[in-house]
Amino acid sequence: KITVQESRGFVVLDVSRRSGSDGKVSVMLRTISTDSALPGTDYLPLETTLEFDHTETSKSVKIELVDQMEYQKLRTFSVELLQTAGGCTLGTVSTAVITIVEDDAVKTLIDKVVAMSDERTGKIREKMETKTWGQQIKEAMTLEEDDEELTNSDYFMHFITMLWKVIFSTVPPTSYGDGWATFVVALMYIALVTALVAELASLFGCCVGLEDSVTAITFVALGTSLPDTLASKTAIEEEEYADAAIGNVMGSNSVNVFLGLGLPWTIASIYKEIQGETYIYPSAGLVFSVIVFILCALCGLCILLVNRKLYG
């Protein structure tokens, strides 16, 4: 049995020739996969023939390991000798079991991160979990002081958002139905608020003489993109590269375009087809907008790849 750390990248096996060294002999060596260690994923499979020259008593074989840069449990695979030639025979030990383990430093670091994540998740779950509607309404109307002292801006934001807090506190508590009731009703509230914002934006555009398309790409787009902007800013501050920020921006818009529009239209088309009617919805400038979005996304990816290639 041989134990090797994954970060080492390889394991070396010594095959010895005993009870004589006259003449030229050979033996075949191959790796055997198991359920825990997979060839190509955890190690590079090997099948070769070792040839011992006259008076040669030892050969070394190098098996490459694949470092997956992630925390995994112990994985094992075997190496066996077979098919001798030249008059030699296999000894009592013809199979070696290789156990791949993680580095102690990596394991300790990941264990700490997991423990901190579990602790933080538990605190968030404990903070978000509610038992009754009364508790939710009370929390919505009360401004609680956490670790930092409350400022005037905190009181101001609480005052102007209290109405929305009270409205959304009518969502069923998370203790009902293992949270499914909260999830479903929250989605319904999001749909209602979205419809309300769209209608108000349309009325505003009508009052000031703006078309719906102009209102959509200015006021509505600004309101829906601000959270993504803040999330991207946080991702850039915490990460070494901007990959997460770029992925957040493009992923959010992709979901809005392809799922936010495609899913309702698909449902409406199926419903109209069942009713024996043809569903026609004017797309206006949707094709042009989607083409512009795809081109901008490709440009962003190309710039990211070129920057990574040139500057690392």
HEC per residue, 253-269? HHHHHHHCCHHHHHHHH
Residue 103 corresponds to which amino acid? D
Contact between 189 and 172 under an 8 Å Cβ cutoff? The reply is no
**Integer Cα distance of 171 and 183 in angstroms:** 9
Determine the pLDDT at residue 65. Answer: 87
Determine the pLDDT at residue 1. Answer: 77
- pTM above threshold 0.85: no
Determine the pLDDT at residue 70. Answer: 66
C-alpha distances (whole Å) from 146 to each of 99, 120, 157 are 49, 15, 16
Determine the pLDDT at residue 284. Answer: 66
Determine the pLDDT at residue 287. Answer: 77
**Integer Cα distance of 308 and 312 in angstroms:** 5
Q: Which residues of the chain carry a pLDDT beneath 70?
A: 69-72, 103-111, 113-114, 117-131, 145-148, 240-242, 283-285, 312
pLDDT digits (tens, 9 = 90+) for 191-209: 888 788 878 888 888 888 8
**Integer Cα distance of 169 and 210 in angstroms:** 35
